Chain A
Amino acid sequence: MIMASVASPGSAKGDNMSADYNVRRFPSGIPGLGKREGGTAAFRLLEHTADIGIEAQAASCEELFVQAAKGLLAVLAGSGETSGPVRDITLEVNAGDVEELLVVWLNELLYLIQTQVVWPLDIALIGMQSGSLTARLSLVPLSGDPQREIKAATYHHLLVNCRQGFWRARVYLDL
């Protein structure tokens, strides 16, 4: 039941899931980004009348993107089980700016999960520029369905910013 450990039912209450997730951190590739001092990396789920949002915070932009990915997995996670060989892949994502990059990144993960029926056991960002990122994912086959279908991460009220070295993101998902 790896999915349960990745995103337990408690995630829907907006709990900090970071302790449950095996995240490797890599140095920032962006000058001025990647400061880690102060604060705790975390995400929480936001209420929306029809759908769900994710708010993430972290000390680096890379970690912020990993937290947002964990939020996505928490929304998806359900009774599915993972089994079979773990496969590592490298993913490159490009966008016009860092906000768009967040949406494209999450939609790339959704595409992988939905079309290849896999679950990411491990997500590591190994390179990042303001409009691109490179991630290494460890994927395992998924048997059973996620609890929800997410149509996409949207650009509605999208936010990625850094204040005093602390990163914050908000993204809404269309369910």
Chain B
Amino acid sequence: MTLKVQQIDQCRWRIPREGAMRTDGLVFASRAMMEVLQKEQALEQVRNVATLPGIVGPSLAMPDIHWGYGFPIGGVAAFDPDQGVVSPGGVGYDINCGVRLLRSDLEVQQIRPHLHQLADALFRNVPSGVGSHRRDLKLSVAEERKVLQQGARWVVSRGMGSEQDLQHIEAGGRIDGADPELLSDRALERGRDQLGTLGSGNHFLEVQMVEEIREPELARVLGLFPGQVTVTIHTGSRGLGYQVCDDYLRIMLRAAAKYGIELPDRQLCCAPLSSPEGRQYLAAMACAANFAFANRQLITAWVRESFEQVLGQSAEALRLSVIYDVCHNIAKWEHHVVDGVRRRLCVHRKGATRAFPPGHPEIPECYRAIGQPVLIPGDMGRYSYVLVGTTGAFEQTFGSTCHGAGRVLSRHAAKKVARGRNIEGELAAQGIVLRAAGRATVAEEISEAYKDVTEVVEVVQQAGIGRIVARLRPLAVVKG
């Protein structure tokens, strides 16, 4: 099906309301990106989201948009509490998949001689790969329930991290309203031995250096300086989140029929936010989101342990601290101004990052003057970015921006491109040490499989939905 797409300006495109759509689609993309998008199904997914009841404002897509399930990856949609719906497909299977950035006082030359050892220690201490788990951590049922309610705070209460860490996490590392009683035994079972694990696919752990600072004053507030060593953690809620999503999709298939909601794609199944099914999903989703916050907090503890083992200095002495931790698969209650009226809305971000502007009360006090830190990973061979949220994002996208580079090659196509090449050797030639649990993942995650994340963040900056602060370059990469 051909979709009508109207160019608004250099980086904004409208999909005008027609047929069953209740609102326009609004896509942030360069012309080159749009040419690619028109060949795949992501735009149709933007249109499908626009058909859902109670949607407020346009069905949005960030510049890293690509074909997803139900919602496109990079999709953002806000819903009215009374007329609107919540959709597990608008959050995704990996609930609260997100990114955490750690800073240190180390400079790159201090770490270069230890890079292989450090990569080995991280690979050893942080379980990665398909069936990864840490043998010395097995939660009891009672402990797991506490994790689901307390999130990152549970990990800190066990001596792994500090109150300061919690202050530097979106929502303080804990989403309110979590009710473990609403999770199936299967979800609990799948989570029990996966806390503190990276998983596989596009999840990673990277030691990086600050390669370029674009905004020195903002970088100073974030504690970033040129040549500095940082660490990025990208993972989510593991099997627990996948099971919560799958369980509630089945509930929502029935709920959509019960409430007479027409679905252009069954993966968009949903229930009114005001219904028991809608409320229960949000309470179950909060459990999985809290699990993910705890997961990244535990991994942080093991990153600190690894640096201590290799460098012989304490994490405190290295000042290895959390800059910020963001969700990019989530549905959250937030207040936004729509047509001059302040409204409480449920904002779905599926592969999109919250990007609240300077002065917003939900931003940690230390960053409130500059805007919320936004962490945008690229691919393992190039770079990642640190941005801050803007007033433009708050006005145009319900305070949202991109979440990564976005894939351009299918996994099969990426493997074809990688065939016969020594990817590890190519990265080593660039000074990047790779440790990976699976060879297939390395081939599927080559740089060429992704858009150049610079193109994505440049569109973000041009559209005013984020402000670029710094670029980070990988030094050591751990992949699942």
Interface status of B410 (Cβ within 8 A of chain A)? yes
Residues of A within 8 Å of B201, CB to CB, are 148-149, 175
Stretch at the interface among B111-119, B264-272, B378-386: B264-272
Residues of A within 8 Å of B69, CB to CB, are 51, 154-156, 172, 174
Residues of B within 8 Å of A100, CB to CB, are 250, 253
Interface status of A85 (Cβ within 8 A of chain B)? no
Q: Are A117 and B245 in contact (CB under 8 A)?
A: no
Interface status of A45 (Cβ within 8 A of chain B)? yes
Q: Are B186 and A111 in contact (CB under 8 A)?
A: yes
Interface status of A24 (Cβ within 8 A of chain B)? no
Q: Are B410 and A47 in contact (CB under 8 A)?
A: yes
Interface status of A104 (Cβ within 8 A of chain B)? yes
Known: A49-B40, A148-B130, A149-B200. A155 touches B267 (CB 8 A): yes
Q: Contact string, B67-86, partner A, CB cutoff 8 A, digits 1/0?
A: 11110010000000000000
Give the Cβ gap from B151 to chain A, nearest Cβ, in Å: 21
Q: Are B412 and A157 in contact (CB under 8 A)?
A: no
A56 to B103, CA, bound (A): 49
Q: Are B70 and A156 in contact (CB under 8 A)?
A: yes
Q: Are A147 and B250 in contact (CB under 8 A)?
A: no
Interface status of A109 (Cβ within 8 A of chain B)? no
A111 to B239, CA, bound (A): 9
Q: Contact string, B391-431, partner A, CB cutoff 8 A, digits 1/0?
A: 00000000000000001111111010000000000000000
Interface status of B15 (Cβ within 8 A of chain A)? no
Q: Are B190 and A115 in contact (CB under 8 A)?
A: yes
A119 to B475, CA, bound (A): 37
Say whether chain A's binding surface is mostly helix, strand, loop, or mixed. loop
Known: A50-B407, A148-B440, A149-B200. A155 touches B266 (CB 8 A): yes
Interface status of B438 (Cβ within 8 A of chain A)? yes
Q: Are A152 and B245 in contact (CB under 8 A)?
A: yes
Residue on B with the closest CB to A145?
Answer: B130
Q: Are A49 and B66 in contact (CB under 8 A)?
A: yes
Interface status of A38 (Cβ within 8 A of chain B)? no
Q: Are A155 and B131 in contact (CB under 8 A)?
A: no
How many interface residues does chain A have, given as a range?
Answer: 35 or more
A45 to B190, CA, bound (A): 27
Across the interface, B266 reaches (CB within 8 A) one of A104, A117, A152, A158, namely: A158
Give the Cβ gap from A21 to chain B, nearest Cβ, in Å: 21
A31 to B402, CA, bound (A): 51
Interface status of B294 (Cβ within 8 A of chain A)? no
A114 to B191, CA, bound (A): 12
Residue on A with the closest CB to B40?
Answer: A49
Interface status of B480 (Cβ within 8 A of chain A)? yes
**Contact sample, A vs B, 19 pairs, CB 8 Å cutoff:** A50-B67, A50-B73, A50-B407, A51-B69, A52-B411, A78-B438, A95-B250, A99-B266, A100-B253, A107-B246, A115-B189, A145-B438, A146-B130, A148-B438, A149-B130, A151-B94, A152-B93, A155-B249, A174-B92
Residues on A facing B (Cβ under 8 Å): 12-13, 45, 47-52, 78-79, 95-96, 99-100, 104, 107, 111, 114-115, 117, 145-149, 151-152, 154-158, 172, 174-175
Besides the contacts A154-B93, A172-B69, A174-B69, what 19 more A-B pairs have beta carbons closer than 8 Å?
A: A47-B412, A48-B67, A48-B410, A79-B439, A100-B253, A104-B250, A115-B186, A115-B190, A145-B129, A145-B130, A145-B438, A149-B200, A151-B242, A152-B93, A152-B246, A155-B70, A155-B253, A155-B265, A174-B92
Residues on B facing A (Cβ under 8 Å): 40, 42, 66-70, 73, 89, 92-94, 129-131, 186, 189-190, 199-201, 239, 242-243, 245-246, 249-250, 253-254, 265-267, 269, 407-413, 415, 437-441, 480
Q: Which 9 A-B pairs have the closest CB atoms?
A: A155-B266, A156-B69, A145-B130, A156-B267, A151-B93, A147-B440, A47-B410, A155-B267, A149-B200
